[in-house]
Structure 1
Amino acid sequence: MTIRACVFDAYGTLFDVTAAARRAAGEPGQERLAEAWPRLAEIWRAKQLGYTWLRAVTGAHADFWQVTGEALDFALEAVGLHGDAVLRDRLMMLYRTLDPYPEVPAMLAALKRAGFATAILSNGAPEMLAAAVESAGIGDRLDDVLSVESVGVFKPHRSVYELVGARFGTTPRDVLFVSSNGWDAAAGAGYGFRTAWVNRAGDPMDRLPWRPETVLPDLSGIPDLAARL
């Protein structure tokens, strides 16, 4: 076995980032959101990621909770729902307890049984990640939760990926890094990780200098992949 640790991005990889808008849309009195939530979720996520990249390249760091709120403000205005403070607060609260993808608990348990170290490596602030992990009930299947807040810059900055080796004493080639973000999986490959891109939407490959080593439709194949590498 050459892989020693399996490390996962959190948002969009283990946790469904559309869940907050979808759940809120099903609540009483949210008829307008029920019509707009897919577009809201898409814009919210796109702006959330875009703001992390801009903050990283300009050195204007803020934690992911602030960035998530700023992205939500843009998305609410874009779909004509800005000014509703109650809805905004509800969406932010739901973002703290996003649904895990269905295969996540069993997949992590299989990795632990096979002897792999497991961890999250995320842009998320520590408090956000702790809430998501607790809500999903997967804390006992993770050896650590690593946040970019310890280095003060978002992915794909190299210092973020270096957190894994510092924690586990691994070389990059000892690590299977898994992300649903094509750019993140590619950047991880550029850093030297063995990488898997979880391409749930069937998106095309990002045009970057690096490519993820493996592409999977979901996380269920990760234990077998880790065992083969």
Structure 2
Amino acid sequence: MSKPTIKAFVFDAYGTLFDVHSVIEKCNELFPDKGEEISQVWRQKQLEYSFLRQLMGTYTTFFSITKDALHYACKQVGVGLSEKKEKELLSAYLKLNHYEEVKGVLEKLNPYQKAIFSNGSLDMLSPLVEHSSFGHLVDDVLTVDEVKQFKPTPMSYQLVLEKLGVRREEVLFMSSNPWDIAGATNFGFYTAWINRQDKVMDELGVRPHYEYKDLNGILEHLG
């Protein structure tokens, strides 16, 4: 495949830039030895609820979905969630750890447009980016909340073109989530699957254009 001319590097947030399971520490603090299980169920339901609400036509913000998913996870695991503990855990989601290579990669991409594009709403994304060490390196933080269409719907990805003023074939979109990569590839973006956990790609009739174990791989598209 010939090397594309990329003008905008667009990153998913959760699992790609930020480690969603860094909440395990806070979960374990509040619910000893239950942290990993709560975190896994929490993330699973967070995604599932966004897909289901998209199908049902009952859009609500990702923050609301994250809160609902947390309640489910605690019930599933069999622990009581007080108002105080709920607040602490949701607050932890606004201060997720970012992966170690992120800042260095963004610094090297400086001449290019760099944007985050997430299902997260701004009430989640803004504090997350501000708390990170690389917020000043990102040009735009885009949220599906503007169109009320969760990824991976085509209408959600259209927002990137409208906001950044680029064509589909000028975007390299990065995500660790196979469903997001499938949606973005289907839409017409060049895609790089950041396969941090050595997963298997979903069988959805599309493949990522590139696959890397972390974001350092995308640096081959410079110049």
Q: TM-score of the superposition, structure 1-length normalised?
A: 0.92
Deviations 1:92-126 (A, max 9, x none): 110011111111111111111xx211000100111
Identical positions, percent: 40
Give the 5 Å matches for 1:44-83. Answer: 44-83=42-81
What residue number does 1:9 align with? 12
What residue number does 1:41 align with? 39
What residue number does 2:222 align with? 227
From 179, 190, 194, the equivalent of 2:190 is 194
Q: Residues 122 and 148 of structure 1 are in contact (CA less than 8 Å); yes or no, is this contact kept in structure 2?
A: yes
Matched, 1:106 2:104: yes
5+ long unaligned stretches in structure 2? none
The alpha-carbon deviation at position 21 of structure 1 amounts to 2.6
Deviations 1:109-154 (A, max 9, x none): 1111xx2110001001112100000001322111100000100111
Amino acid at match of 2:8: A
Amino acid at match of 1:6: F
The alpha-carbon deviation at position 220 of structure 1 amounts to 1.8
The alpha-carbon deviation at position 12 of structure 1 amounts to 1.0
Q: Secondary structure at the match of 2:120?
A: coil
What residue number does 2:181 align with? 185
Amino acid at match of 1:146: L
From 15, 19, 25, the equivalent of 2:22 is 19
Q: TM-score of the superposition, structure 2-length normalised?
A: 0.94
| Structure 1 residue runs of 4 or more that deviate by more than 4 Å after TM superposition | none
Q: Residues 106 and 137 of structure 2 are in contact (CA less than 8 Å); yes or no, is this contact kept in structure 1?
A: yes
Matched, 1:142 2:145: no
CA distance in 2, matches of 1:223, 1:170: 20
Q: Residues 59 and 153 of structure 1 are in contact (CA less than 8 Å); yes or no, is this contact kept in structure 2?
A: no
Matched, 1:129 2:109: no
CA distance in 2, matches of 1:54, 1:66: 14
The alpha-carbon deviation at position 24 of structure 1 amounts to 4.1
CA distance in 1, matches of 2:165, 2:151: 20
Q: Secondary structure at the match of 1:200?
A: coil
Matched, 1:96 2:107: no
RMSD of aligned Cα (Å): 1.3
The alpha-carbon deviation at position 207 of structure 1 amounts to 0.8
5+ long unaligned stretches in structure 1? none
The alpha-carbon deviation at position 58 of structure 1 amounts to 1.4
Q: Residues 24 and 90 of structure 1 are in contact (CA less than 8 Å); yes or no, is this contact kept in structure 2?
A: no
